[in-house]
Amino acid sequence: DLAPNDLDAFWMPFTANRAFKKNPRMIAGAKDMHYVTPEGRKILDGVAGLWCCNAGHGRKPIVEAIQKQAAELDYSPAFQFGHPKAFQLASRIAALAPADLDHVFFANSGSEAVDTALKIALAYWNVKGQGQKTRLIGRERGYHGVGFGGISVGGIVSNRKFFGSLLAGVDHLPHTYNRAEQAFSRGEPEWGAHLADELERIVTLHDASTVAAVIVEPMAGSTGVLPPPKGYLKRLREICDKHGILLIFDEVISGFGRLGYAFAAERYGVVPDMITFAKAVNSGTVPMGGVIARKGIYDAFMNGPDSVIELFHGYTYSGHPLAAAAGLATLDLYREEQLFERARALEPKWIDAMMSLKGLPNVLDIRAIGLVGAIDLASKPDAVGKRAFEAMDLGFRDHDLMIRITGETIAVTPPLIISEEQIGELVDKLGKIIKAVA
């Protein structure tokens, strides 16, 4: 029941309204693996919402936990007061994180989580009496949300170029993938380590004593699903250790089972100093994000000089009761249904299914890992992104499938409850869509 002006009233991400107004794609409900349109059409969710609804939609225990919490305690002021569920959820998240990443700072989104982690890194060095360590290092094509910290360390041009005031003192590692390099990497097992050595070059250029932290997504997600080349993350860790630099993994996408483990850090066997998370922590139900920090970082603030008391950072909704209750119910569900292990077990079948699309018209490359898949399509000669956009549009309209696109890449990241049969259905739909946009 939308009035014509309603489509202008809700300003979607900057330029999105233009395309949306021509062809609105509305959803009104969701259950398990499907979205439902206002007309009642069931749409297969190929993206877990936006890489967040890992437990599927409308799961009873999560819904009931949110309802109960809303009736019991709607809000708890974040700074001087606590409520038990936020503390319990922090412990549960810490238990899933590797090594001594034992302390959780809650925010409300991935972007806030990233800005929080960068601020913790800078404050940490200050607290340690090394306030000269102010430089931050991100990566080309890295996506770290849209806060000013996140776009500064991020490496996507369109996220940066219209905004003058980026953080000063930020460098970017080269991105880790293009097709030629990928081919090269197949015959060169330690290729990833060579690429990570670029960090050594940047650090040497500026003097290690000025560098505070490096932030990377273990697997670059939003810029096309780029798993790290072999040896890459390990070498970053070694170089950070050598120079006393904090290593931050942005696991907003990869956290909570997407790659078959609680965190990608575990999959790749590399322990960062901080992990940022959001999205799937409560299966996308109530906004929540956060940072998991190593014990030594927490201790520096707890035992630091008195001047630490002047330090402030936090959000009105940090550890919000509804988000925390949803988080506890979600982690229970992940455990009871063994959804991380399930993703790991399904991975070989998932990869086979994705790779079966190779050879279709305009398919340049396909990548699959965990329960993530990406298909690079060739651009139409005059319009970058057009073919992928058409695929997304057509998928929703004619094939009852929701996918995500970035540039000319189609990304699929279904809820972890997807059945083998539904994987077949998803890939079948993808094949039809790709042929249709040839």
Site for ligand PMP in 45-84 (CB under 6 A): none
Distance of CA 225 to the CA centre of its chain: 11
**Separation between Cα atoms, residue 220 and residue 140, nearest integer Å:** 10
Residue 278 within binding range of ligand PMP, rule CB under 6 A: yes
Considering the complex, state which of residue 46 and residue 110 has its C-beta at the smaller distance from ligand PMP: 110
The mark string for 232-261 relative to ligand PMP (x by CB under 6 A, - otherwise) is: ------------------x-xx--------
Quick one: 238 or 250, whose CB is closer to ligand PMP?
250
Instruction: Tell me the torsion sign for CA atoms 411, 144, 216, 291.
Output: negative
| Least distance to ligand PMP, CB of residue 251, Å | 7
Which residue in 217, 273, 376, 408 binds ligand PMP (CB under 6 A)?
A: 217
Residues 6+ positions from 304 with CB-CB distance below 8 Å: 127, 128
Is residue 221 within the footprint of ligand PMP (CB under 6 A)?
yes
Sequence-distant (6+) residues with CB within 8 A of 350 are: 368, 370, 371, 373, 423
Residue 144 makes contact with ligand PMP by CB under 6 A: yes
Residue 375 CB, shortest distance to ligand PMP, in Å, is 18
- Helical pair 110-127 and 295-302, crossing angle rounded to 10 deg: 60
When binding is defined by CB under 6 A, the residue of 46, 49, 56, 145 that contacts ligand PMP is 145
Report if residue 111 touches ligand PMP, rule: CB under 6 A: yes
Residue 414: closest CA among 358, 370, 366, 360: 370
In the complex with ligand PMP, which residue's Cβ is closer, 158 or 307?
A: 158
Is 222 one of the binding residues for ligand PMP (CB under 6 A)?
yes
Question: Between 110 and 327, whose beta carbon lies closer to ligand PMP?
Answer: 110
**CB closer to ligand PMP, 126 vs 330:** 330
Q: Which residues of 1-21 are buried (b: 16+ CB within 10 A; e: fewer)?
A: eeeeeeeeeeeeeeeeeeeee
Residue nearest to ligand PMP (CB): 110
Nearest in space to 121 (alpha carbons), one of 108, 106, 133:
133
Residue 286 or 357 having the CB closest to ligand PMP: 286
Provide the phi-psi class of 411: left if phi over 0, else alpha when psi is between -120 and 50, else beta.
beta
Binding status of residue 110 toward ligand PMP by CB under 6 A: yes
Q: Which residues pair with 101 in a beta bridge?
A: 294
Strand 246-250 and strand 170-173: the pairing is unpaired
409 lies in the binding site for ligand PMP (CB under 6 A)? no
Question: Where does this chain bind ligand PMP (CB under 6 A)?
Answer: 109-111, 114, 143-145, 217, 221-222, 250, 252-253, 278, 289
